[in-house]
């Protein structure tokens, strides 16, 4: 697979680079970013943390705002941030910010016009890791994290693929999308009207059925304006307790939904993942 390096910058003695490539899974050109720590080499490949961003974001939001590079360099962990949806003139879109481009929800759409391109679940779990591991000095040991819509994606993908990841974390995840406006709008469009089909992409529903084999760390700001209507972390915790899943929710007083919140606690998330990626 051919990829094109479109930008790069040295940071924390490592490298942040952006690439584009033609995605067979999404049927369009995609962009992703990677941070390679200074110790990454062909003779000493490093593990990877995959970061999934939220609504309206691209690969750039986390890489430019989270302040994660210094700690990732110290720990020896690469970070990969894909875009949040397929892009292109022929890709279906919606007038709202919470559906279509920038709002892929990390699922495989089954309904048209979305099904032609919106297969972010397969892209994140299959195509992108295959490309990363074939191209860069990384190994196949990986964990997954994300924010808001991306927190939903990180938890559901980790729960559905425990053999692929070592650990899961999330900031302000959409914890029970089948019961919130963001999730209901997206799932109805992408998956159709059968709500049973929605549950396969709902972290609370997945935890209600079985214990998580992976450790999960969740940070949630108490001043988040989306907390009560859209995020509902208390439902995620209740589901985790049902089967005694290893989930820790930390409610953070005064913090909102922004990257100011993420940048405050990202080092702790990286350290959490390092204990599992580097063991």
DSSP state of 45: -
Note the pTM of the prediction, 2 decimals.
0.97
Question: Which residue is it, tokens 């997954």?
Answer: 144
What's the whole-number mean pLDDT along residues 156-180? Answer: 98
Chain segment 16-55, per-residue pLDDT in tens: 999 999 999 999 999 999 999 999 999 999 999 999 999 9
Output the pLDDT for position 2.
Answer: 86
Provide the percentage of residues in the chain whose pLDDT is more than 90. 99
Evaluate if residue 228 carries a pLDDT over 80: yes
Evaluate if residue 279 carries a pLDDT over 90: no
CB atoms closer than 10 angstroms to residue 5:
9
- State the chain's mean pLDDT as an integer: 98
Which residues fall within 8 angstroms of residue 153, CB to CB, at 6 or more apart? 52, 105, 106, 120, 124, 146
Using CA atoms, how far apart are residues 101 and 83, in angstroms rounded to an integer? 10
What's the whole-number mean pLDDT along residues 3-22? Answer: 98
What's the whole-number mean pLDDT along residues 89-108? Answer: 98
Output the pLDDT for position 72.
Answer: 98
Output the pLDDT for position 102.
Answer: 98
Evaluate if residue 233 carries a pLDDT over 80: yes
Question: Which residue is it, tokens 């820790």?
Answer: 248
What tokens were used for 200?
């396969």
Strand order in the sheet with 138-147: 3-11, 14-23, 28-36, 78-82, 46-52, 138-147, 168-171, 216-221, 247-252
What is the set of active-site residues? 148, 224, 257
Output the pLDDT for position 1.
Answer: 67
What tokens were used for 57?
């974001």
Chain segment 171-202, per-residue pLDDT in tens: 999 999 999 999 999 999 999 999 999 999 99
Of 102, 34, 99, the closest CA to residue 68 belongs to 34
DSSP structure string for 253-278: TT--SSHHHHHHHHHHHHHHHHHHH-
């Amino acid at each position: 697979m051919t990829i094109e390096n479109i930008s790069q910058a040295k940071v924390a003695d490592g490298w942040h680079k952006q690439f584009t490539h033609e995605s067979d899974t999404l049927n369009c050109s995609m962009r992703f970013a990677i941070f390679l720590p200074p110790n990454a080499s062909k003779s000493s490949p490093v593990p990877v943390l995959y970061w999934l961003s939220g609504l309206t974001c691209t690969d750039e939001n986390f890489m430019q705002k989270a302040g994660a590079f210094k700690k990732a360099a110290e720990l020896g962990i690469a970070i990969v941030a894909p875009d949040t949806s397929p892009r292109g003139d022929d890709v279906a879109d919606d007038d709202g910010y919470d559906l279509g481009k920038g709002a892929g929800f990390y699922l495989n759409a089954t309904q048209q016009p979305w099904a032609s391109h919106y297969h972010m679940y397969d892209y994140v779990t299959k195509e992108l890791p295959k490309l990363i591991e074939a191209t860069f000095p990384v190994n196949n040991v990986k964990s997954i994290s994300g924010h808001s819509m991306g927190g939903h994606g990180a938890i559901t993908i980790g729960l559905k693929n425990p053999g692929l990841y070592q650990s899961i974390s999330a900031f302000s995840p959409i914890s029970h999308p089948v019961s919130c406006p963001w999730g209901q709008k997206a799932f109805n469009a992408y998956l159709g009207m059968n709500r049973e089909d929605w549950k396969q992409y709902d972290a609370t529903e997945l935890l209600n059925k079985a214990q998580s084999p992976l450790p999960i760390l969740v940070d949630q700001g108490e001043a988040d304006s989306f907390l009560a209507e859209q995020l509902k972390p208390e439902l995620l915790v209740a589901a985790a307790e049902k089967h005694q899943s290893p989930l820790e929710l930390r409610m953070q007083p005064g913090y909102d939904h922004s990257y100011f919140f993420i940048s405050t606690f990202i080092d702790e998330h990286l350290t959490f993942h390092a204990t599992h990626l580097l063991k």
